[in-house]
Amino acid sequence: MSRKILYIEDEPFLGKIVKETLESQGYEVMLIADGALVMNAFNNFTPDIVILDVMLPHIDGFTLGQQIKKSFPKLPIIFVTAKVETDDLAKGFESGGADYIRKPFSTRELIIRIENQLNILDKSQNTKSVKNEKIALGNFFFLSDKYELEHKGKIHKLSSREAEVLSLLCKNSNQTLDRKTILMEIWGDDSYYNSRTLDVYIRKLRKCFSLDKRIEIITLKGKGYHFIVP
């Protein structure tokens, strides 16, 4: 069965080229050029992944990403943008992005990133875990299969990548976890881009755990992290 891609891009030429290339690789692609039409598209199309341009008419990609993740929390989103600032990168991940690709890009690179996200999704769906198992972390409970952090009855939704990073930290709690180990296990390479992406997730997790001062994610410069839990 073909994997389905919802591709949101307002540049007609680029949209046509990428759509045709993805279809030639066996994907089923729905192309939408207007951000305001995206949420209604889910009524007739159930994608496995979303490719989302940041600059769109009527609604920007970051806002749209938040709306998509609220309705479909496990649906991976790859943001596409010409922006290069670190703040934009962080905003993309904070809006629910699982990955980020900058224009101009090669279709081969996009396909690699799509396949990587689909493989991650398949692994998470095929992993056998005890439903509703809670990992106690101070005043928090981590529900890895649901991508949730619970704190005093309130639920904070994590992205799939945030949950993966936290799972590794939990498995190595109160001991040093090498930075390269995280990058290789989750992303498959330790490139500068992925390293900066990891920094974003660590900052987000620190912000979550700031409600319990006993929990710390300490950066060990040139080495990795030490996840302290009571």
Q: The domain spanning residue 174 has which CATH number?
A: 1.10.10.10
What percent of the chain clears pLDDT 70, i.e. is strictly above it? 92
Same domain? 110 vs 178: no
Average pLDDT across the chain, whole number:
87
Q: How many structural domains does the chain have? A: 2
Answer yes or no: is pLDDT of 189 > 70.
yes
Collect all residues with Cβ–Cβ distance below 8 Å to 165 and sequence separation of at least 6: 182, 186, 198, 201, 202, 205
* CATH code, domain with 20: 3.40.50.2300
pTM reported for the whole predicted model:
0.61
Residues 140-145 have a mean pLDDT of 90
Same domain? 114 vs 145: no
What percent of the chain clears pLDDT 90, i.e. is strictly above it? 51
Same domain? 139 vs 122: no
Same domain? 142 vs 100: no
How high is the pLDDT of residue 90? 72
Same domain? 97 vs 203: no
Same domain? 18 vs 122: yes
Same domain? 73 vs 119: yes
Same domain? 107 vs 161: no
Judge contact between 33 and 39, C-beta under 8 A: no
Give the DSSP letter of residue 36.
Answer: G
How high is the pLDDT of residue 128? 44
Judge contact between 96 and 159, C-beta under 8 A: yes
Domain containing residue 112: 4-126
Answer yes or no: is pLDDT of 123 > 90.
no
Same domain? 167 vs 202: yes
Per residue in 69-115, pLDDT tens? 888 888 999 999 876 666 667 777 777 788 888 888 999 999 999 99
Residues 206-215 have a mean pLDDT of 93
Token couple for 163: 């949950």
Of the candidates 204, 183, 173, the residue with the CA atom closest to the CA atom of residue 89: 204
